[in-house]
Amino acid sequence: MFKALMLHEADGGKVEIRFEDLELARLPEGDVLVEVDYSTLNYKDGLVLKGLGKLVRTYPHVPGVDFAGTVAESGHPDFKPGDRVVLNGWRVGELHWGGYAQMARVKGDWLVPLPAALTTHQAMAIGTAGYTSMLSVMALQAHGIDPGSGPILVTGAAGGVGSVAVAILARLGYRVAAVTGRPEAQAYLTDLGATEIVARDELADPPSRPLDKERWAGCIDAVGGSMLARVLTQMQYRGAVAAVGLAGGSELNTTVIPFLLRGVNLLGIDSVMCPRAEREVAWQRLATDLPLDKLAEMEVDATLTDLPHLAGEILQGQVRGRVVVDLK
Ligand code: NDP
């Protein structure tokens, strides 16, 4: 028997959270059985736990879009019992049962070997949010943006994606401007390595003209909406924005002028179906390019029973840094 957080369909399209003891036979099919040490809470988990976004098709369902743990049984050639692994994406926690349980059975093709330098706790302090930050940094670098290019703007900076992005960029030598709506997060962001704090209000309104003063060589944007539209008008010549999130809205009302006159590029970042080779590079780079002392400052420890209220908090932008859910 193992413990799990289960979602059940309730009346009126709502979902009900129950804490249950399950038998291994209840787990879905898959060629690797993993004993889960830790999971985490992402914005998407908040949506799933609240029954929003139509992300889950069938109930009962075990949410949790990522987990780290140890292989217990394997029919996959790349994994054997005792291997430490991390999983995120592939619609685990949405279409497939996820990490909010002490055991998970999944396809071995979805698993990434955990770099030796990281513990399973650190892997989930990083989680999908942190791994996506790394994918964003890699995209900006592949576009030729280096520390000499100019400052990098990070929006939604005190959130999960933003916090890890600030810490990685600062470690790599970039000057980082952090956008936050929480004045009380300024010291936290400066400590992670931000050299400039930009108040959310400064960038919240839609742009009034197609081009503004050139300010940013790059941007990692977790917010979307009118903030992204505004940021596009402020990009330096040949700058690039990694579009990661929609915490402020999914619409994008812009003009093509920044693309045509300044050669600005908008780089889409998808963590979910990202090919395995790129994932492995991202996890390896997290082990070297993310300062682990800074990661420790972002961590908030939680258990399964904390998740119902934390789900509401993350959807309201009230969670700071990264929540690590202990399944041991
Ligand atoms: P968090 O909730 O931890 O962070 C989001 C941050 O955005 C908040 O902390 C807040 O930062 C800011 N924010 C919230 N609401 C608003 C608003 N209305 N206007 C402006 N800023 C706002 O979430 P995550 O970091 O986990 O995820 C961030 C986004 O990235 C989400 O939209 C998520 O879905 C997306 N994402 C996408 C992935 C992909 O594959 N593309 C993978 C992972 C996440 P502050 O308080 O500092 O202002």
Q: Is the CB of 314 under 6 A from ligand 1?
A: yes
Q: Is the CB of 93 under 6 A from ligand 1?
A: no
pLDDT the model gives residue 35 = 98
The rounded distance, in Å, linking the Cα atoms of 126 and 114 is: 12
The rounded distance, in Å, linking the Cα atoms of 79 and 308 is: 33
pLDDT at 13 over 80: no
Q: Who contacts 146 (Cβ-Cβ below 8 Å, separation ≥6)?
A: none
The rounded distance, in Å, linking the Cα atoms of 105 and 280 is: 21
Classify residue 300 by burial, with Cβ atoms within 10 Å: 0-12, 13-18, 19+: middle
Both tokens of 52, joined, read 């929003």
Cα of 300 vs centre of ligand 1, distance in Å, is 17
Average pLDDT score over the chain: 96
Instruction: Report whether CATH 3.40.50.720 matches the domain 128-268.
Output: yes
Strand 216-221 versus strand 152-154 pairing type: parallel
Cα of 233 vs centre of ligand 1, distance in Å, is 21
Domain ranges of the chain: 2-114+292-326, 128-268
Tell me: ipTM over 0.95. Answer: yes
Q: Does the reported pTM lie above 0.90?
A: yes
Of the pLDDT bands very low, low, confident and very high (cuts 50, 70, 90), residue 11 is confident
Contact of 133 with 154, CB cutoff 8 Å: no
Report percent pLDDT > 70 for the chain: 100
The rounded distance, in Å, linking the Cα atoms of 138 and 275 is: 14
Domain 2-114+292-326 classification at class level: alpha beta
**Mean pLDDT of all residues in 259-272:** 97
Contact of 119 with 183, CB cutoff 8 Å: no
- What residues form DSSP beta bridges with 324? 40, 301
Pick the closest to residue 142 from 270, 284, 242 (CA basis). 242
